[in-house]
Amino acid sequence: MSESLRIALAQRNFLVGDVHGNAARVIECARHARDELRADLVLFPELTLSGYPPEDLLFHSGFRRQIEAGLARVCAEVSDVDLMLGFPEYTKAAIYNSAAYVRAGQIAAIHRKAELPNYRVFDEKRYFQPGSQPSITDCGGVRMGLLVCEDIWAPQAAQLSRADGAQMLLVINASPFEIHKQREREQVARARARDVGLPLVYVNLVGGQDELVFDGNSFAMDAQGEVVMRAPAFEEGTYLIEFACEAGGALTPRPAAVVPELSDEASVYGALVLGVRDYVRKHGFPGVVLGLSGGVDSALTLAIAVDALGGKCVQAVMMPSRYTSRMSLDDSKEQAQGLGVQYSVLSIETMFEATLATLKDEFAGRPVDAAEENMQSRCRMLLLMGLSNKTGRMLLTTGNKSEMAVGYATLYGDMAGGFAPIKDCSKLLVYRLANYRNSLGRVIPQRVIERPPSAELRDDQKDSDSLPPYEILDPILEAFIEEDLSVDEIQARGFDRATVGRVLDLVKRNEYKRRQAPPGVRVSRRAFGRDWRYPITSGYRR
């Protein structure tokens, strides 16, 4: 046995479907870890070669050929350092979510993921068959138990590895971000380490993939479950942990950096920035355009976009109407100039008047209502999509989760766009994030945060004219959306029953809108998107 074992955690950003590019990234990173970090072993995330989640790409025969060629290329081009990387393993009868352990250009061991998650955003039983056997290999005379992500969330895989002689657990992961997720991961890993009395090394994917953001936060624990190394959140890098190999087979970690956990606001903001950056860049857009209204939602979205892409890649457009206040005009200009973005003011008044004139006879005898309000939003959409088409910049929408939940948004109006950064952020969270971002450097005018929220689609309009106060609305929405609680259960928390019933009815009634909304970054336990599958047409009553 060697005197020490140096393990590099390759917390890297891989692109779904880019098998050739992912293989090249593995080779480059492995060589760096070997030559610069003097690593004995490099761990890569779950499904490294395919990217995660590959979804129905897995069913394409051409994709299978690329995966097999990519793995063969890694084996052929990396020597003098061991690798563990994830890949979809194809057999005649099944596909497995597997980890390959590569030594001296050969596959020394393969572990097939045993615990396949099929909840929330995970749909692995659609694609993969589970493995059933422990997988053990050695590095420098140390016996390693190989695990893939969910394997560590149940005790059996770790126990089987220990029973088969493992001295350490290696866990490769593609675990997406949500609030408090890192705390949960480490609690589970601590329980496994203590249960089997073995140290473990946990590497996690980083980067944005559609609605999901993978936050990294890779770590290592000793046999008592204490964190002895933690990598930064939302940052690519290759991070080293060294273990001293003691007489009798014990492995003792040597001092390494333990990066502190981020606050809730910092972690959510980091996820939003990374999610926007990767969605825009991985799709090849030169930048983004968005409507800036003078409200807190668009102000926060603009700050996120600039932090993700830089001011030169962002265009903000103020589109005033007869109802737009001077405060909104002034505050929008101040923020746009402070962030150094391209800023345009394009009035919708002429378009709005022309639309009203065209529909005058059709609307005759009917009172002014939401139809006229929605026209303004759709006029703005025409301008923004025109700019998006002409410049190639993607349109960001600025709606929050509270609005999406109850339908307080205009279909084919302010809901139109390519990506919705704050789609999974409640209104109260939006305020917290705005204050957090200003704590790093003031970029959002303070009165934008302090003023009563308004869509400014009619005189003296306030959100509170149509909705309960957000201090009441948001907890009701969280209880229903994230906890699946009934009216009775939510009422028992101290809320007025009629208000609860009204809010839940709004959520159910507006499913048709959400199905047509753009994707956005998932940050909560349950977001509208891949882990929300309510029927549009339903006879269910609360």
Cβ(314)–Cβ(306) under 8 Å? yes
**519 found inside a domain:** no
Cβ(73)–Cβ(111) under 8 Å? no
- Measured N-to-C along each axis, helices 61-77 and 19-35 cross at an angle, to the nearest 10 degrees, of 20
Count the residues in the chain. Answer: 542
Report the distance separating Cα 68 and Cα 64, nearest Å. Answer: 6
- Residues 193-220: tens digit of each pLDDT: 999 999 999 999 999 999 999 999 999 9
In this structure, what are the phi and psi dihedrals at residue 95, rounded to the nearest 5 degrees? -120, 135
Same domain, 87 and 11: yes
Percentage of the chain modeled with pLDDT above 70: 99
Nearest to 398 by CA among 381, 374, 376: 381
Half-sphere exposure (Cβ direction) of 143: Cα atoms closer than 13 Å: 14
For residue 528, count CB atoms less than 10 angstroms from its CB and return exposed for 0-12, middle for 13-18, buried for 19 or more.
buried
Same domain, 35 and 106: yes
- Residue 531 scores a pLDDT above 90: no
Higher-pLDDT residue of 119, 148: 148
DSSP state of 345: E
Same domain, 287 and 400: yes
- pLDDT value of residue 242: 93
Q: Which residues are registered as beta bridge partners of 202? A: 171, 219
Cβ(194)–Cβ(227) under 8 Å? no
Report the distance separating Cα 164 and Cα 534, nearest Å. Answer: 44
SS3 of 480, please?
helix
Got the DSSP string for 395-455?
Answer: EBP---HHHHHHT-S-TTTTT-SSB-TTTT--HHHHHHHHHHHHHTS--S-HHHHHSPP--
Q: How confident is the model at residue 467 (pLDDT cuts 50, 70, 90)?
A: confident
Same domain, 198 and 340: no
- pLDDT value of residue 13: 97
- Residue 490 scores a pLDDT above 70: yes
- pLDDT value of residue 528: 92
Pull the structure tokens for residue 229.
């190394």
Cβ(25)–Cβ(234) under 8 Å? no
- Residues 360-382: tens digit of each pLDDT: 999 999 999 989 889 999 999 99
- Residues 502-524: tens digit of each pLDDT: 999 999 999 999 999 999 999 99
Same domain, 412 and 291: yes
Same domain, 288 and 248: no
Same domain, 30 and 163: yes
- pLDDT value of residue 282: 96
- Residue 189 scores a pLDDT above 80: yes
DSSP state of 385: H
For residue 178, count CB atoms less than 10 angstroms from its CB and return exposed for 0-12, middle for 13-18, buried for 19 or more.
buried
Positive or negative: CA dihedral 432, 437, 441, 447:
negative
Q: How confident is the model at residue 426 (pLDDT cuts 50, 70, 90)?
A: very high
- Which are the contacts of 9, defined by CB distance < 8 A and separation ≥ 6? 43, 201, 203, 218, 220, 231, 238, 239, 240, 241
**529 found inside a domain:** no
Torsion angle of C-alpha atoms 347, 348, 352, 354, degrees rounded to 10: 70
Cβ(265)–Cβ(436) under 8 Å? yes
CATH code, 57: 3.60.110.10
What range defines the domain where residue 148 resides?
A: 4-258
- pLDDT value of residue 120: 84
Cβ(4)–Cβ(44) under 8 Å? no
Percentage of the chain modeled with pLDDT above 90: 85
Cβ(189)–Cβ(162) under 8 Å? no
Q: How confident is the model at residue 307 (pLDDT cuts 50, 70, 90)?
A: very high
Report the distance separating Cα 444 and Cα 115, nearest Å. Answer: 45
- Counting the structural domains of the chain, the total is 2
- Residue 41 scores a pLDDT above 80: yes
Q: How confident is the model at residue 1 (pLDDT cuts 50, 70, 90)?
A: low
**426 found inside a domain:** yes
Q: Which residues are registered as beta bridge partners of 95? A: 90
- What mean pLDDT value characterizes the chain? 94
Active site residues: 46, 113, 149
For residue 140, count CB atoms less than 10 angstroms from its CB and return exposed for 0-12, middle for 13-18, buried for 19 or more.
middle
- pLDDT value of residue 497: 94
Report the distance separating Cα 382 and Cα 387, nearest Å. Answer: 9
- pLDDT value of residue 87: 97
Pull the structure tokens for residue 197.
């009395």
**532 found inside a domain:** no
- Residue 469 scores a pLDDT above 80: yes
Report the distance separating Cα 429 and Cα 263, nearest Å. Answer: 13
**352 found inside a domain:** yes
Cβ(10)–Cβ(218) under 8 Å? no
- CA geometry: angle 85, 90, 91, nearest 5 deg: 130
- pLDDT value of residue 150: 94
- Residues 247-271: tens digit of each pLDDT: 777 888 888 999 999 999 999 999 9
Report the distance separating Cα 33 and Cα 167, nearest Å. Answer: 23
Residues 407-424 have a mean pLDDT of 94
Nearest to 293 by CA among 506, 91, 463: 463
- pLDDT value of residue 411: 92
- Residue 385 scores a pLDDT above 90: yes
Report the distance separating Cα 147 and Cα 193, nearest Å. Answer: 13
**263 found inside a domain:** no
- Which are the contacts of 356, defined by CB distance < 8 A and separation ≥ 6? 363, 372, 375
**428 found inside a domain:** yes
Chain-centre distance for alpha carbon 318: 29
**127 found inside a domain:** yes
- pLDDT value of residue 121: 87
Report the distance separating Cα 31 and Cα 37, nearest Å. Answer: 9
Report the distance separating Cα 416 and Cα 157, nearest Å. Answer: 46
Residues 150-179 have a mean pLDDT of 94
Q: How confident is the model at residue 542 (pLDDT cuts 50, 70, 90)?
A: low
Same domain, 481 and 414: yes
Same domain, 90 and 183: yes
* First and final C-alpha spacing in the chain: 64
CATH code, 419: 3.40.50.620
Same domain, 205 and 339: no
Same domain, 287 and 201: no
Q: Which stretches does DSSP call E strand in 16-151?
A: 41-43, 82-90, 95-103, 106-112, 136-139, 142-148
Could you tell me the pTM of the whole model?
Answer: 0.94
Same domain, 166 and 308: no
Pull the structure tokens for residue 132.
């059933």
- pLDDT value of residue 245: 85
Helix (H) or strand (E) holding 5: strand 4-11
- Residues 86-117: tens digit of each pLDDT: 999 999 999 999 999 999 999 999 999 999 99
